[in-house]
Amino acid sequence: MGHVWYEKSSDNGTTWYIANNGKPLDQNGGKLPAIDFDYNQDVAIVWEEKYYGGSTSLMVGVFGGDLMYYWYPKFVFADLGLDYNIVNLNPVIAYDAEGRGIIAWEKKSVNNNIIYPLGIFCKYGPLSAMSFPGSKHMGWLGYFNHSFQW
């Protein structure tokens, strides 16, 4: 527990194996994964991960191809003011018909140990095995933000 894993079956669930060479997807502890796949059978997983000093961040990884090659996680968002052990960002991920991905999460603040919702934030753009690793197509993860206030 305390990590994010991706298990896969190629025989309708009779046997399973852990992708990523049997290692967790996260580097520092992870929680609340969400998963989707596109028409090319790329699988995208987003999760909340412990960040510097115990704060929280979101990461996304994509598996693609027949052998389910893993493209190492990309940074989506971090909030140094939120404690990973207290606040859950509840990320979700989905592909559209063109293979673009949207990642959404709850933005929150904490004041005097009370958690306040601030809205739903999202990032949207190309998300496929072809856009990893380090491709300019993933640049949207660093700067394309929308916020929806409640």
The yes-or-no verdict on residue 111 having pLDDT over 90 is no
Provide the 3-class DSSP secondary structure of residue 138: helix
In the chain, what percentage of residues exceed pLDDT 70?
79
Question: What would the pLDDT profile of 55-110 be if each residue is shown by its tens digit?
Answer: 999 998 888 765 566 676 787 888 888 899 989 999 999 998 877 888 888 888 88
pLDDT (average), residues 5-26: 87
- At 130, the pLDDT band (50, 70, 90 cuts) reads low
Residue-level pLDDT at 52: 85
Domain membership flag for residue 1: no
Domain membership flag for residue 55: yes
| Both tokens assigned to 32 | 């609340």
Residue-level pLDDT at 138: 46
The yes-or-no verdict on residue 17 having pLDDT over 60 is yes
> What would you report as the CA-atom Rg of the chain, rounded to the nearest whole angstrom?
16
How many of the other CB atoms lie within 10 Å of CB of 148? 11
Q: What is the chain's mean pLDDT, rounded? A: 80
Q: How many domains does the chain have?
A: 1
The yes-or-no verdict on residue 144 having pLDDT over 70 is no
Domain membership flag for residue 5: no
Domain enclosing residue 79, as ranges: 31-148
Residue-level pLDDT at 148: 47
Domain membership flag for residue 16: no
Cα(96)–Cα(38) distance, integer angstroms: 8
Domain membership flag for residue 56: yes
Residue-level pLDDT at 97: 83
Domain membership flag for residue 9: no
Domain membership flag for residue 60: yes
Residue-level pLDDT at 145: 46
Domain membership flag for residue 53: yes
